[in-house]
Amino acid sequence: MSVISAMPPMPATATRKRVPRFLGSASFRKFTLAEYHKMIEIGVLIDGEPYELLEGYLLLKMPRSPEHDFTISAISDQLYQFVPRTFSIRGQCAATIQESEPEPDLVIARGNVATYRHRHPGPTDTALVIEVSASSLDRDRTDKAFIYAHASIPIYWVVNVIDRVIEVYTLPSGPSETAAYAHREDYPVGTAVPVVLDGVTVGTIPVADVMG
């Protein structure tokens, strides 16, 4: 009998998990925003569970570390000191963006808190999106950047806690099959990131203060 695997034989006591044959080769069903909301409404998905809809696909959110949550809290504390009341600071809340409904770590949206009592902010409401990235760094730089650039969200931060740098993406292409941000500027520890809302710098955040 020929051996077709390079893996060493498993001990007799080990339990082998079946790997579905369709993985890596199947076409996966996409969901509309209406279908996604209906699944939450009828309890197929529980509101607050670690899922988000990205480009019509239901994905598990990446796990959060203590460092990740510290950074979100530290940035929030800074933002609340200078963001005007004409904007809302939303933490880990859904944003409705075409066929996606991501849950960014932070969003600064135009309008006060009451503006979003009955709806999520959309692209035209959004001035700044922030994702705090450790285990999610690759997804945030690629998939999320595509979604936000495609929706013309003007400024996108990737708070890279691995390399201790805040990556600021600007000049989104808008709707395109190759949507992207044209400009990226990195702010390492020792610098401060300007918080720009609708073309106005409302404050700055020292990178060292939010990296722990």
Mean pLDDT of all residues in 187-203: 98
pLDDT at 24 over 70: no
Sequence-distant (6+) residues with CB within 8 A of 143 are 54, 55
Q: Is 44 within a domain?
A: no
Mean pLDDT, the chain, integer: 85
Is residue 80 over pLDDT 70?
A: yes
Q: Which residue has the higher pLDDT, 10 or 28?
A: 28
Instruction: Find the mean pLDDT for residues 70-99.
Output: 91
Look at residue 17 and tell me if it is in a domain.
Answer: no
Sign of dihedral through CA atoms 30, 147, 133, 34? negative
Q: How many domains does the chain have?
A: 1
* Residue 30 included in any domain: no
Structure tokens that stand for 17 in this block: 């998990």
The residue that leads in pLDDT, 212 or 178, is 178
Domain of residue 72, residue span: 66-210
Query: What pLDDT sits at residue 17?
Result: 58
Q: What is the pLDDT of residue 50?
A: 77
Q: What is the mean pLDDT of residues 3-11?
A: 44
Question: What is the reported pLDDT for 136?
Answer: 85
The pTM score is: 0.79
Residue 87 lies in a domain: yes
Output 19 or 74, whichever has higher pLDDT: 74
For residue range 119-150, what is the model confidence (pLDDT) as tens digits? 989 999 999 999 999 888 998 999 899 999 99
51, part of any domain:
no
Examine residue 3 and state whether it is found in any structural domain, yes or no.
no
At 177, which CATH number?
3.90.1570.10
Instruction: Flag whether 153 is in a domain.
Output: yes
In a domain, 189, yes or no: yes
What residues contact 155, with CB distance under 8 A and at least 6 apart? 127, 128, 129, 168, 169, 170, 196
3 confidence band (pLDDT: 50, 70, 90): very low
Residue 101 pLDDT exceeds 60 = yes
The pLDDT value given to residue 20: 59
Is the pLDDT at 2 greater than 90? The verdict is: no
In order, the DSSP letters of 37-62 are HHHHHTTSS-TTSSEEEETTEEEEPP
Instruction: Report d(CA 36, CA 100) in Å as an integer.
Output: 10
